[in-house]
Structure 1
Amino acid sequence: MSVLYEQSIVIVRPGTVSDRYGNEKADWGESATRTPVAQVNVQPAGGSQEDTDDKRIVVTGWLLISAPGTYPDLQATDRIEYEGMTLQVTGKIGRWPTPAGVRHIEAQLKEVD
């Protein structure tokens, strides 16, 4: 395997809870499921943006690429835990199939600090 894919992540998929009005909403606490995934590459992408209107907020973009031949079950509503950060998936997951099977996935992520 290439040294590019020696990182690991945890995919966090929210559970659901009902609010006091009976509406279902995402629950990132105890009912969330955590799935470890190896053989990925996570790197900075898209730079950072800073919002200084009323408080300091830095938003950093990241790119997740899975190793060739891997196809993690990642959805646009999931979050990623990586090196002490919680990253949000932004947009749809890029899936790169081939006639022989799966090539890899790519996903844009963001960290809001």
Structure 2
Amino acid sequence: MALLIAPHAVTVVTKPTGVNPRGSSETDWSGAQRVTVQGQVEPAASSENRDGRDQVASTYVVRLPPGTTVSFKDRLEWNGMTLEVTGDPRPWSGFRALDHIQLAASRVRG
């Protein structure tokens, strides 16, 4: 991906899975693997919950270098925020210098 459009350090946090003492799988994010890459994060939408709760949901479009390992189960850390990957990350190719993986990520507060 061209450096010109990759101004942000984005950390991909891979979802770890373990087994609790009862044999059920569980997630312990404190032991997650973290890999930082240069990418681009753009705000896409924001909405407020109006059913009596103070809650806002923000969506971002994220572009990462080709070959970055990321799945819908992962999280991203960027600009002091933790974002949940939503949907399948999709490769985009065409003009080699602009190849990337694009995905949507969201953050819900409140």
Question: TM-score normalized by structure 2?
Answer: 0.84
- Per chain length, whose mean CA-contact separation is higher, i.e. which structure has more relative contact order (CA < 8 Å, sep 6+)? 2
Check the 8 A contact 1:71/1:103 in 2, yes or no. no
Alignment map for 1:1-113 (pairs within 5 Å): 1-29=2-30, 31-38=31-38, 40-45=39-44, 47-67=45-65, 70-97=66-93, 103-113=99-109
- Does structure 1 retain, via aligned residues, the 8 Å contact 2:43–2:61? yes
Alpha-carbon displacement from aligned partner over 1:27-75 (angstroms, at most 9, x marks no partner): 211x21111112x110001x111113242110000000135xx331111
Amino acid at match of 2:4: V
What is the TM-score normalised by the length of structure 1? Answer: 0.82
Contact 1:62 1:109 (8 Å CA) reproduced: yes
Q: Which runs of 5+ in 1 are unaligned?
A: none
Percent identity, aligned pairs only, is 27
Asked if the contact 1:11/1:80 (under 8 Å) is kept, the reply is: yes
Structure 2 distance, partners of 1:2, 1:23, is 43
Moved over 3 A (4+): none
Q: How many residues align?
A: 106
Structure with the bigger percentage of helix = 2
Cα root mean square deviation, aligned: 2.0
